[in-house]
Amino acid sequence: MPEQIRYLATALTGIDAMSAVTARAYPRHVHDQYGIGVVDAGGHASASDRRQVEAGPGQLIFVNPGEVHDGRAIGGRPRAWRMLYLDQQMVDQARIQIADGARRPLTFAAAVFGDERVRRVFESAYAVLTGSAAISGSAAAMARETALLRLLAASDVNATTPARAAAGATAPVRRARDRIEAEPAAELSLAELSAEAGVSRYQLIRGFAREFGLTPHAYIVQRRIALARRLIRLGHSAADAALQAGFCDQSHLNRCFVRQFGVTPNRYARRLG
């Protein structure tokens, strides 16, 4: 299988689609979106929330926002998979409709899940949202919204109600995390963050690693990548997004972006494959 990583535009705001065929290994990282996908060929392994999981052809992949995970090909052989990445706000609003007005926060219980019915619903949603399904005219908008709602409703079979681990962070780590979230592009030192948290620098590093699976520095880089990606989606150039997100230059953003997404910011911006 020749390597190919593509990010596709969708007609609904707040959704990214991706398809990949690659043996690339992805380092530990987080997304600020929900992810729902399927493995089409080969084997995919991941350390998700400090658990080792493996997925094979036909199995579904689920990712929660803020969930630390990596990804690698089993046996070093290329694997193929497709993903839909969904903004949290859009998911929250859709789930209010599904629950007839009730607010039901979503957390996926399993990183790898096998369910033929959900897989068929995913296949339909992916085709409709990426435009590969033969639907046009006034029916297209209704078909896209219907596909999204059906996918989220079907995925409820893998949902759990407890809050994610990040919500249960200890107060010092939470204060440092909130400072980073408020200003991800700011020049923050470890001494400044630990003083604000009220703990030593080592205690802060240890607490972050225990509760989020990342050091404060790695967490800052993740938040800057997420900010840069949002700016690119809004139409900013990669160079402008790099500076606004706190990277020293576009080359630094390029390196971080490729490690996490497998494509450069400019290729992601084009979404043409």
CB burial class (10 A; 0-12, 13-18, 19+) of residue 102? exposed
pLDDT category of residue 74 using cuts at 50, 70 and 90: very high
Over residues 35-60, the pLDDT tens digits come to 999 999 999 999 876 589 999 999 99
Amino acid 271: pLDDT: 74
Q: What CA–CA distance (Å, rounded) separates 167 from 185?
A: 22
Over residues 86-144, the pLDDT tens digits come to 999 999 999 888 887 778 789 999 999 999 999 999 999 999 999 865 555 567 788 88
Higher-confidence position of 140 and 183: 183
Amino acid 162: pLDDT: 45
For residue 236, the 8-state DSSP code is -
Which neighbouring-strand residues pair with 159? 108
Over residues 138-170, the pLDDT tens digits come to 677 888 889 999 999 999 999 985 444 444 568
Over residues 197-247, the pLDDT tens digits come to 899 999 999 899 888 889 999 999 999 999 999 999 999 999 999 999 999
Q: Letter for the amino acid at 5? A: I
Amino acid 210: pLDDT: 86
Percent of the chain with pLDDT over 90: 69
Could you give phi then psi for residue 234, rounded to 5 degrees?
-85, 0
Choose among 199, 260, 270: nearest CA to 31. 260
Amino acid 167: pLDDT: 44
Q: Is the confidence at residue 267, as pLDDT, over 60? A: yes
Amino acid 143: pLDDT: 86
Q: Is the confidence at residue 79, as pLDDT, over 70? A: yes
Q: Which two tokens stand for residue 167?
A: 């919500």
Amino acid 152: pLDDT: 94
Q: Render 73-109 in DSSP notation, one character per residue.
A: EGGG--EEEEEEEEEHHHHHHHHHHHTTT-----EES
Ordered by where they begin, the domains of the chain are 4-160 (2.60.120.10), 169-270 (1.10.10.60)
Among the residues of 136-200, which ranges form H helices?
Answer: 138-154, 171-182, 190-197
pTM of the model: 0.86
